[in-house]
């Protein structure tokens, strides 16, 4: 049976496995941001007001943290299910950049151990961004 678009879409086994693996951290982290934003607000204060001004949103940092978390939950879920994977990955990439810049500012850490941990988290997020960009390009 052909979809109404006149073509048959084939999804590889790799995509069926990789998408949920990539999406899982966003759903988990996004739920935490929606439910418990207060713990993320101090770090988010470093970037959230500038982003709000840039896009013309009048919201406090806690609301922005919750909104970002909601984007991650919705887009992570749709990516995991293969629903609009390119758009889902693009939304996740857009939410990951400010999250990374706010939450993993390794260059500001004075303690060597803390700097090391934040560097690892920053690079992990950069790797996740790379995976999202591959989904944006290839579906």
The pLDDT of residue 71: 97
The residues near 25 (Cβ < 8 Å, ≥ 6 apart) are 76, 128
Task: Give CA–CA dist 107/117, Å, rounded.
Answer: 11
Residue range 18-72, pLDDT digits in tens: 999 999 999 999 999 999 999 999 999 989 888 888 888 888 999 999 999 999 9
Residue range 70-80, pLDDT digits in tens: 999 999 999 99
The answer to whether 32 and 69 have CB atoms below 8 angstroms apart is: yes
39-59 burial: b if 16+ Cβ within 10 Å, else e:
ebbebbeebbeebbeeeeeee
- If one counts every other C-beta atom within 10 angstroms of the C-beta of residue 29, the result is 20
Distance of CA 40 to the CA centre of its chain: 15
Output the CA angle 27-94-115, nearest 5 degrees: 80
Paired tokens of 8: 């048959």
The answer to whether 64 and 44 have CB atoms below 8 angstroms apart is: yes
Domain boundaries, the chain: 14-138
The pLDDT of residue 1: 41
């Amino acid at each position: 049976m052909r979809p109404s678009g006149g073509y048959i879409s084939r999804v590889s086994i790799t995509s069926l496995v990789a998408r949920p693996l990539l999406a899982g951290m966003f759903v988990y982290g996004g739920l935490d941001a929606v439910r418990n934003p207060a713990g993320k607000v101090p770090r988010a204060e470093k970037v959230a007001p500038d982003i709000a001004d840039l896009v013309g949103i009048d919201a406090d940092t806690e609301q922005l943290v919750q909104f970002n978390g909601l984007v991650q939950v919705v887009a992570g879920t749709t990516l995991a299910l293969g629903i609009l994977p390119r758009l889902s990955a693009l939304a996740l990439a857009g939410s990951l950049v400010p999250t990374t810049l706010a939450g993993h500012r390794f260059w500001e850490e004075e303690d060597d151990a803390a700097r090391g941990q934040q560097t690892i988290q920053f690079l992990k997020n950069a790797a996740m961004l790379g995976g999202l960009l591959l989904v944006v390009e290839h579906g």
